Amino acid sequence: MKRFLLATGLCAGIAAPCFAEPATTTAPATMRGAPSAHSHIVQTIPPNAQIDLEHCADGWCYASWRNLFGYIPAFTVAQAGPPLMSPSPPPVVVTAPPIVVAPAFGWGGPYVGGGWGYSWRNW
């Protein structure tokens, strides 16, 4: 039974980091041993550091950085997730200019004859 528990613990210890999500710190963060501001300090993490995030709850995130595990304040973490892309600009809509057909009336000029009608010449 001891071997089974030892093997299970070893497998869980090896596989656990595989479930971590990449994240980045947005500010300097103090990693602590427990989710409390009064817990002992494990290490200090600089801003923009790439960390592995296990889970977050109650304002604390369990994470690892440089092979040390501990809790950091949730407000100092930005989850990476899929690559962030800038919002795409709105599509450009090109429309043709309006075609205005107006009745023409005149004697002579560009029109042959007189009276009402539509001009098909542009002189």
Which residues have a Cβ under 8 Å from the Cβ of 115 and sit 6 or more positions away?
105
> DSSP assignment of 19-61, as one string?
G-EEEEESS-EEEESSSSTTSPEEEEE-TT-EEEEEEEETTEE
Residue appearing with tokens 């995030």 = 53
Whole-model pTM: value is 0.52
Taking only the tens of pLDDT, the chain with its 123 residues reads 666 555 555 444 444 445 678 889 999 999 999 999 999 999 999 999 999 999 899 999 999 999 999 999 999 998 765 444 446 677 777 788 777 766 655 555 554 555 555 555 555
pLDDT number for residue 95: 80
Structural domain spans, the chain = 18-79
Domain 18-79 = CATH 2.30.30.40: yes
Rounded distance, CA 52 to CA 66, Å? 9
Rounded distance, CA 58 to CA 36, Å? 10
Query: What Å distances lie between residue 79 and 15, 24, 35, 95, CA to CA?
Result: 21, 6, 19, 42
Give Rg (Cα) of the chain: 36
pLDDT number for residue 103: 61
